[in-house]
Chain A
Amino acid sequence: MDVELLEIRQHMGQHPPFDRLSDSLLDKIASRVEVSYFKTGSDILALNETMTDLCYIRSGAVEVYRRQGDLYNRLGEGDIFGHFSLLRNQKVRFPAKAIEDTLLYFIPKAVFQQLCEEDEDFADFVEVERPRLETAAEQQKKSNDMMVTRIRKLVARYPVMVEASTTVQQAAQQVSQAQASAVLVLKEDSTHPRYSFQDSEGKTWQVCGILTDSDFRTRVVAEGLSPQTSVGEVVSSRLITVQSDVSIYEAMLTMLRNNVHHLPVLYRQRPMGVVHLSDIIRYETHSGLYLVSNIFHQSNIEGLARLAPDVSASFVRMVQEGANSHMVGSALSTIGRSFSRRLLELAEEKLGPPPVAYCFMVNGSMARNEQSIVTDQDNALILSDDFIPEEHDAYFKALADFVSEGLDACGYTYCKGDVMATNSQWRQPLHVWKSYFTDWINNPTPERLLHSSIFFDLDSLYGEDLFVEALQDLIAEKAPQSPLFLAAMARNALNRTPPLGFFRTFVMEKDGKHNNSINLKRRGTAPMVDLIRVHALACGSKAQNTFQRLDDIANTQLLATGMSDKLSYAFEFMCMSRIRHQVIDLQEERVPDNNIEPENVADSERHTLKDAFQVLSNAQKFLKFRYPVPANRTGR
């Protein structure tokens, strides 16, 4: 490399997508760059001009506009632009202007094309939004759990170890005492250096085998051997072990390949534990399971409230182990539901059996199985049509109060919009609920729906599931035929817009203003949920989960091919960003929230988030067009 180009390659090498390029490709770019200076206010790219280069901002700042002149993007040092036009028809589609004195590096088209061909990462980065989001979402999935978590994590305790001269009976006793299911057999020897280690007294030991529960059966009892036989005589010399830093996945493969259920785990040569296949299966299925079973063992609100810290701990662990947003959302919802269920059981114990049948309905994120660690309670009661307010309501009011207070004690704060069963408006017999929904759908206004739309995510938690199902059926039947309702829902779904992206340490707004942080729920995941709900309602889907709704939508012709995948990747990415930042908050002992500060977002995440916002923004535009307010119609 010519040292004289170090300035250029070093600068580019720090910014995506160049930061991942091989040195030789980076050298190639640096040596072919052309440089140009643009004074504040001067045009860099004019509409329909022929594109000949990729533009890289060495210093200064640039604004990129849409054809109509709206701000599309604001870019700073290290950002690139012009790649869309370069990839497509090679005419400038987004004109650009310097908003500060700017020094640009132009990377000639031929070099750009070569980069796209030779480097997959680079191509992914510069091609349309989808591939970048797709790779990001898939990488999150791939880095999932067992591939990255080391087996030492599953080692709960020191192994039971005996000398080869020990009798099988003594060995069996030790195994039973330790409530283990295998014992390692040691010899004072060092002929096999791979399994030799020194104990604290300086003696050199060698692991010569393992004796498991089933070995005691097949090798000792079935063979009719005396209990006084030494373990050294029966132990198999075949020993399969793993090092403590292999992945759980690799350890599992080792077990399957060798058809063993016990796997001694070594740190260097020293045994540190024995992992059983069931440990792996338990790990894989769910860490939250223990918490859930614990919830159902509590006999009062205080006991439940004591479990609240375990919820955060389980959340942090899940994320660290690579769970995706769907897994995290379902697990947290399951935990939240378990708290609610247990509280209802306790309430019934206290208040006696209910006077009429009821269903405890959950709404919002819990209904969608998308709960996060920052959450409030949204619930309601659907009562049997036999309900007589004067006679029965005192019971249900007390029940609702008990549950609501209990949830609050467990960390699920009261709903700010008062969407709770404690509110008499939301504690009604089924026929009233049906009339609510019918009225909302038949006579919608965006303002009315804004407050009640939380009920369009609904699920049964406890009691008569049929009551909620009746309402779900009603919505799925009426909504697709009510264009005015869909239009009103769509209008609400457009209330919250994503920001443009990031510019330096600010969140860029479309009007050119900027903020210090972004509420990723309000500006990202929530508008996405709203938007997808409208499409789901339009196609009569009864699914409540956003990903499942997208699957239902994908089965119709409602969206262009590939669109629901794009939405799903964007949604996943936004959810995971939000979740990861909450984990950081928890780890640094701050109260987790939905706000993300741009300076805490890694470069690559910034770019992908920007893409996700763009997908959301485009989808919102389509929504407005797809569900227009019907002319001269007031609904049916």
Chain B
Amino acid sequence: MTFIRPRRKITQADWAKYMQKRAPLAQDTAIQRFFEAPPPSLDTPIAEVPMVALDMETTGLDERRHAIVSIGLVPFTLGRIKLAERRYWVVKPPRPLDEASITFHHITHSEIANAPDLDEIIDPLLEALAGRIVVVHFRHIERPFLDAAIKARRGEGVMFPMIDTMSLEARLHRQKLWARFRRWLGRPPVSIRLDASRRRYGLPSYQGHHALIDAMATAELLQAQIATHYEPSTPLSALWT
């Protein structure tokens, strides 16, 4: 994904308070249950945080015009990525697929034709995310897409805290003094795309653009980032956004 939106101002939101407030207001039972299981508190050491890596393939990059095609997730902790508990769904987007996106994520018309609407998977999806910190690579896709898609179907959206492995890479490679110096010298910035980031930690290359494989790859990347630059005792607040 070469596309990066202009940086927004980072504000450390009080997610616990937000979710607590949303719970009693929720109309939809699935959404209510989701908000009733708040994420771990800010000072929890990362080693104790239950997480879930999430990735989705979409027909494009704009949540207002494009739709979700597939969602993959893998629950994990700092110690173990639990493949046995993985979930993967292909969903039917409300608008037909265009050919360009097919070549991108390899999901074909016939697969989509037999797939359910996202509405049918919202319940199990939210259940899988509840109480866990969601980990993604580049949060500006997953969060707005999910929010928009759920709002379209259930009348209310879902926002929640995330750890973004791309932001963590950006902190190391884009915002440090050395990185600015490199830019000043006219060197290309270090790539913080998923595969390039993984390579810096000695992680193998995976066949990309499959939501579940990318979710797994993201979980592995976070383990590697924490093992390399942080401690198991690093509090959640230092990592999430």
Contact with A along B59-76 (1 / 0, CB 8 A): 000000000000010001
Instruction: Check: B219 CB closer than 8 A to any chain A CB.
Output: yes
Known: A4-B86, A31-B84. A37 touches B203 (CB 8 A): yes
Known: A3-B210, A4-B88, A60-B202. A37 touches B220 (CB 8 A): yes
- Chain A hits for B213, CB < 8 A: 4, 7
Instruction: Check: B113 CB closer than 8 A to any chain A CB.
Output: no
Instruction: Check: A607 CB closer than 8 A to any chain B CB.
Output: no
Q: Are A59 and B203 in contact (CB under 8 A)?
A: yes
Which A residue sits closest to B228, measured CB to CB? A39
Q: Are A100 and B202 in contact (CB under 8 A)?
A: yes
Q: Are B202 and A102 in contact (CB under 8 A)?
A: yes
- The distance in angstroms between the C-alpha atoms of A4 and B84, with both chains bound, is 12
Known: A4-B210, A7-B206. A101 touches B82 (CB 8 A): no
Q: Which of A4-40 contact B (CB under 8 A)?
A: 4-8, 11, 30-39
Q: Are B83 and A103 in contact (CB under 8 A)?
A: no
Q: Which of B17-39 contact A (CB under 8 A)?
A: none
Known: A7-B213, A38-B227. A33 touches B83 (CB 8 A): yes
Instruction: Check: A42 CB closer than 8 A to any chain B CB.
Output: yes
For the residues of B in contact with A, the DSSP-based class is: mixed
Task: State which of A7, A11, A33, A37 has its C-beta within 8 Å of the C-beta of B223.
Answer: A37
- Chain A hits for B88, CB < 8 A: 2, 4
Q: Which of B193-223 contact A (CB under 8 A)?
A: 201-204, 206-207, 210, 212-213, 216, 219-220, 223
Of the four ranges (under 10, 10 to 19, 20 to 34, 35 or more), the interface on chain B belongs to 20 to 34
- Chain A hits for B82, CB < 8 A: 34
A11 to chain B, nearest CB (A): 8
Instruction: Check: B224 CB closer than 8 A to any chain A CB.
Output: yes
Task: State which of B76, B80, B210, B227 has its C-beta within 8 Å of the C-beta of A106.
Answer: B80
Which A residue sits closest to B76, measured CB to CB? A35
Q: Are B207 and A7 in contact (CB under 8 A)?
A: yes
Instruction: Check: B79 CB closer than 8 A to any chain A CB.
Output: yes
Instruction: Check: B115 CB closer than 8 A to any chain A CB.
Output: no
Q: How many residues of A contact B (CB 8 A)?
A: 27
- Chain A hits for B83, CB < 8 A: 5, 8, 30-35
- The distance in angstroms between the C-alpha atoms of A106 and B82, with both chains bound, is 10
Q: Are A4 and B202 in contact (CB under 8 A)?
A: no
- The distance in angstroms between the C-alpha atoms of A516 and B86, with both chains bound, is 43
Q: Are B84 and A39 in contact (CB under 8 A)?
A: no
- Chain A hits for B206, CB < 8 A: 7
- Chain A hits for B228, CB < 8 A: 39, 101
B83 to chain A, nearest CB (A): 5
Instruction: Check: A58 CB closer than 8 A to any chain B CB.
Output: yes
Which 10 A-B pairs give the minimum distances between C-beta atoms?
Answer: A101-B202, A4-B212, A37-B223, A35-B81, A39-B227, A59-B204, A34-B80, A37-B224, A33-B83, A32-B84
Residues of B within 8 A of A (CB): 72, 76, 79-84, 86, 88, 201-204, 206-207, 210, 212-213, 216, 219-220, 223-224, 227-228
15 contacts between A and B (CB under 8 A): A2-B88, A3-B210, A4-B212, A5-B83, A33-B83, A34-B83, A36-B79, A37-B203, A37-B227, A39-B224, A39-B228, A59-B204, A101-B201, A101-B202, A102-B202
